[in-house]
Amino acid sequence: MALDPYTEGVRRLMSAAYPDVGGAVTDAAEARRRHERARFPRGPHVGEVRDIVIPGTPDVPARVYRPAEAGPTPPVVVYLHGGGFVLCDLDSHDGICRILADGTPAIVVSVDYRRAPEHPYPAAVDDAFTAVRWVHAVGAAALGGDPDRIAVAGDSAGGNLATVCCLRARDTGGPPIRFQLLVYPVTDCLADWSDDPDGQLMTSRHMRWYVAQYLSERAHGEQAYASPLRAGSLAGLPPAFVLTVEHDPLRAEGEAYAARLAADGVPVQAHRVTGLFHGAFGLGALLPAARRCEELACDALRAGLAAPHDLTTPTGPEPGRMSQPRRVGR
C-alpha cells in the first residue's frame, strides 16, 4: 500500500536531509557531514548512560545503557547501528538504544565499529565480534548483567553485522548467543535491489554506493560474513526475529533470510510492517507504525532473553518453522 499522506510527509522531510549518496554526494566524509546535521528522536529516560572502551586490536568504543528498572541481573543486548557501513554512529542511534533498554528491559551495549571506506570489510565484522566476545567474557558481569542471556541486534547494515556475529560464533565455538534481532537487515551485498514507486527513503542507488564503499573487492560479497544469505548453511544459529518494512529495497532479502533460517532449522519469527519505509525504526514518537515496530522488537527481545523461570509460554515457532510475515497496518 502507498504511504499515507502524513507518513509520506515525514519521509519527504527526511529525504530532504538525507545525503544523496551515489548521486549528488559521492564522498563518504561529505555524506557524514550532511547526515550528522539530522535530528533524531531522543528516546525514553533510562537509569544510566556512559561511554566505555572495549579492549581489542584496535580498541572499540561503545556506549552502555542501563534501564531504570532491570532487576538484579538483566540480560544484555549488543546493538550494531545501521548506516550502510558508512554513516551513523552512537549518537544517531542513541534513541533506539534507549527504547530497547527501557522496553526489554536490558543493558544495551551500542558498538561504535569502524566504518567504510576508510575501514572496509571485514573491519566492522571484527569490531562487532570483539564486542560480543568481550560482553560474554567480561562485560556482562562487570556491568551487572547476565552473561548467559546475551542477544545481538541491529538495523540495516547493523542487522547484517548482528547475524554475522552469530555465524562467526557458531563457526569458532562461541561465545553463546541467546537471540538475534534483525531489523530490515542487509543479507546480500550483491543483491539486485529494486525501487518502490510508492515511496521510500533509501534507494537501490544508495545501496550500490554503500556496498562499493564497504567491499574493497566485489568478490568479498560472496563470502558469508559479508552476505549471510549466501552462507552454505545457517543451521545452529540462535533463534531470530526478523522485522521488515513494506517500502524498502532490503525487504526481499530480509524475508528471504528469515525463510533460509527456518529451512535450516532455526526458530524464527518474521514480521512485515506495511505502510512504512526503511529508516523508520526509532521514529515511534512521530509515526504510529514505527512505534509498533519498537513494540515488536522489545517483545521479541523479552521473550528471547527470558530467564528459564519466566518462560510460561513458547517464545516462537517450533524449530525449523517460520511464522508467516504478519503485516502491521498503518
Cα(252)–Cα(246) distance, integer angstroms? 9
Cα(39)–Cα(286) distance, integer angstroms? 13
Kind of pairing between the strands at 240-247 and 268-277 = parallel
Cα(257)–Cα(222) distance, integer angstroms? 15
Tens of pLDDT, residues 111-144? 999 999 999 999 999 999 999 999 999 999 999 9
CA distances from 175 to 18, 136, 144, 241 (A): 37, 7, 18, 20
Tens of pLDDT, residues 237-254? 999 999 999 999 999 999
Cα(215)–Cα(219) distance, integer angstroms? 8
Instruction: Name residues whose C-beta falls within 8 Å of residue 167's C-beta, 6 or more positions apart in sequence.
Output: 224, 225, 228, 231, 234, 237
Identify the three-state secondary structure at position 55: coil
Tens of pLDDT, residues 269-315? 999 999 999 999 999 999 999 999 999 999 999 999 998 755 433 33
Cα(320)–Cα(187) distance, integer angstroms? 19
pLDDT band at 103 (very low <50, low <70, confident <90, very high): very high
Please tell me the predicted confidence (pLDDT) of residue 197: 84
pLDDT band at 232 (very low <50, low <70, confident <90, very high): very high
Cα(249)–Cα(92) distance, integer angstroms? 22
Please tell me the predicted confidence (pLDDT) of residue 256: 98
Assess whether pLDDT exceeds 90 at residue 69. no
Q: Provide DSSP, 153-218.
A: EEETHHHHHHHHHHHHHHHHT-----EEEEES----TT------TT--SS-HHHHHHHHHHH-SSG
3-state helix, strand, coil split of the chain in percent (to 5) is 35, 20, 45
pLDDT band at 71 (very low <50, low <70, confident <90, very high): confident
β-sheet bridge partners, residue 326: 271
Q: For cell 560474554, what's the residue?
A: 136
Assess whether pLDDT exceeds 60 at residue 329. no
Does residue 216 carry a catalytic annotation?
Answer: no
Cis previous bond, 58, omega within 30 = yes
Tell me how many degrees the CA angle 113-118-120 measures, rounded to the nearest 5: 70
Show the domains of the chain with their CATH numbers.
5-328 (3.40.50.1820)
Per the prediction, the chain carries an average pLDDT of: 92
Tens of pLDDT, residues 166-207? 999 999 999 999 999 999 999 999 999 999 888 889 999 999
Sign for the CA dihedral angle at 279, 105, 65, 52 comes to negative
pTM greater than the 0.85 cutoff:
yes
Please tell me the predicted confidence (pLDDT) of residue 310: 56
DSSP 324: P
Assess whether pLDDT exceeds 70 at residue 326. no
Catalytic residue, chosen from 15, 92, 156, 216, is 156
Query: Closest Cα to residue 14, out of 33, 32, 40?
Result: 40
Cα(74)–Cα(185) distance, integer angstroms? 26
The answer to whether the CB of 61 falls within 8 A of the CB of 128 is no
For residue 271, which amino acid is it?
H
